[in-house]
Amino acid sequence: MNEQKEVLDLGPFFHGTKVQLNLGDLLEAQNRSNYQDKKSNYIYFTATLEAAKWGAELAAGNAQERIYIVEPQGEFENDPNLTDKRFPGNPTRSYRSKSPLKIIAELGNWERHSDEEIDHMLSSLKSLREQGKDVIID
């Protein structure tokens, strides 16, 4: 019997980062996390531009913020760091996969959050880190 898995989302999908990539490159799990000093077991992505903007703006480093349009190369699941903890039902349409994501385009222009909004979010994340609550289920 051939069992077909339900597709969670049809996309398009985005990945926000400060890493410069090329069309056709594959983003893969087991690379350094954008947010913690460790390797990540998954590659994370979203189907909303808003979440992708935060991904790019909050990624570690001082390089240019980038948002890529990506294509999952395998199965993916809801990101439990957001769907279980903060946003039940996954309104951010945030996902993770152990399979690669293929870069199919880069968004050339997008509107950043204000410096005040970014600073507030960074301050909140720092506070969570200091309280030991910045755990990422990975």
b/e for 109-137, b at 16 or more Cβ within 10 A? eeeebeeeebeeeeeeeeeeeeeeeeeee
2 pLDDT higher than 70: no
pLDDT for 102 beyond 90? yes
| Distance between CA atoms of residues 111 and 54, nearest Å | 11
Contact assessment for residue 8 and residue 78, using Cβ atoms and an 8 Å cutoff: yes
Which class in CATH covers the domain with range 13-130?
alpha beta
Q: Where are the domains of the chain?
A: 13-130
Half-sphere exposure of residue 7: CA atoms within 13 angstroms, side-chain side = 5
pLDDT in tens, 32-90: 655 556 577 899 999 999 999 998 998 888 899 999 999 999 999 988 876 656 656 67
Regarding pTM above 0.85, the answer is no
